Amino acid sequence: MIEPSLEAVADRYERELLESCIPFWEKNCPDREFGGYFNYLARGGQVFDQEKSMWMQWRIVYMFATLYNSPYRQERWLELAVQGFDFLTRCGKDASGHYYFALNRQGEPMSVAHSLYSDCFAAMGSAALYQVTGETRFRKEAELAMANYHARIDNPKGRWDKSLPGKPRRRTLGHYMMLANLGYVLNECLGTTQYEAEIRQAADTVFGTFWQPDRRQLFENVNLDGSIDLASCDGRHLNPGHALEAMWFLLQFGNRVGDASISATASDIIAATLESGWDSKHGGIFYFQDAEGFPPAELQSDMKLWWVHNEAILAALFAYRATGNTTFLDWFKRLDEWTWQHFPDHEHGEWFGYLNRSGEPTSSLKGSRWKCFFHLPRCLLLATSILRDPTWR
């Protein structure tokens, strides 16, 4: 059973979701004139750009539909999700059926469909809507977008790839991480097991190539043959947030199908990533790292980002639930304390997204091309559920 002291923690996560996070986005993000959502929001919720980034748009659809399917159900959340779906399916696709990267406010395309993640989040959002409505149009869109995503995974940019022969070709962890998550979400939302093969493909690829157990590092990029390239910044690149997010996706699947080997490996990777990713001087999880300890090429590598800490919190909770190892509970408490000391905006609601290494905000934005109503509400919702799970070890 959950220890009594964590009941108050669960209450805090629930309050933040219902009283701060959801109200901020529900008030400020819907575009009630043209459809879809504003995802560039300043600290107080003011819109500072009208571009509609496709990843963010579909993530918002997914989140409102998921919240409608939660114990906190509100009819208006379903309405918000459906209006986003209608806008995006009407305006968002190119002639080949793939989703653009971005639209303007009115729904005209701004950027070509160069990112397979646009299809990824379209599949998630549509599947979540099918789960709560049973409407065929949502299921069909989810299945089509998933097929598009899977078909592109070996050549993600397709005809929009600007690379020349001299650039090494890589596999990227994020693509397989999201394949695992997509398979799980679609199986759950569509009431099927048809995507289990895709999830296992993702697990086998991640565990067999990206994870280097002798080094205890999960690489972000590997060569097509599965080898690692330690002679380049790209090859040495580590992304602790992706590693932690990927592992709780696989723990979720391992728990659902009763696969102890998946749970054991994923938990081991979480332990290794938390140990190496934690900033021993200032606290928090680094954004990026270099596998050999060289200066990371990305100048923002020592920053502390909201989504990384959201995923770290969930990874620690999932690993503790899967293993009963109190080391993960200790990690959860450490992450929880640091995260809640630095990210919440107690004056305007929601959370700051970008902190410097010592934990001070570097930007006051609440939404942008990369930040929206997704990582934070998903973390708050799932953490509350896990903390209150009567089967907690």
What DSSP character marks residue 141?
H
What whole-number distance in Å separates Cα of residue 118 and Cα of residue 101? Answer: 6
Nearest to 24 by CA among 384, 380, 382: 380
Tokens describing residue 355:
């902190």
Please name the fold of domain 173-362.
Answer: Glycosyltransferase (1.50.10)
Q: Is the dihedral of CA 174, 175, 177, 178 positive or negative?
A: positive
Name the token pair of 75: 């009819």
Residues in CB range of 391: below 8 A, 6 or more apart: none
pLDDT in tens, 229-262: 999 999 999 999 999 999 999 999 999 999 999 9
* Confidence class for position 132, pLDDT limits 50, 70, 90: very high
Structure confidence by residue, pLDDT tens digits, 134-177: 999 999 999 999 999 999 999 999 899 999 999 999 999 999 99
In contact, 61 and 85? CB cutoff 8 Å: yes
Evaluate if pTM is beyond 0.75. Answer: yes
Q: Do 332 and 313 contact (CB within 8 A), yes or no? A: yes
Residue spans of beta strands (DSSP E) within 221-287 = 221-223, 237-238
pLDDT value, residue 3: 65
Q: Domain 1-167 belongs to what topology?
A: Glycosyltransferase (1.50.10)
Query: 10 Å Cβ neighbour count for 285?
Result: 23
Instruction: State residue 5's pLDDT score.
Output: 85
Q: Where are the domains of the chain?
A: 1-167, 173-362
Q: Write the pLDDT tens digit of every residue in 323-366.
A: 999 999 999 999 999 999 999 999 999 999 999 999 999 999 99
CA distances from 91 to 95, 102, 104, 333 (A): 11, 10, 10, 44
Which DSSP letter does residue 211 get?
Answer: E
Does 173-362 match 1-167 at the fold level? yes
State how far the alpha carbon of 305 is from the alpha carbons of 45, 215, 285, 339, in Å: 19, 25, 8, 10
At 211, which amino acid appears? W
Q: Which residues, 6+ apart, have CB-to-CB distance to 299 below 8 Å?
A: none
Angle CA 205–285–20, to nearest 5: 105
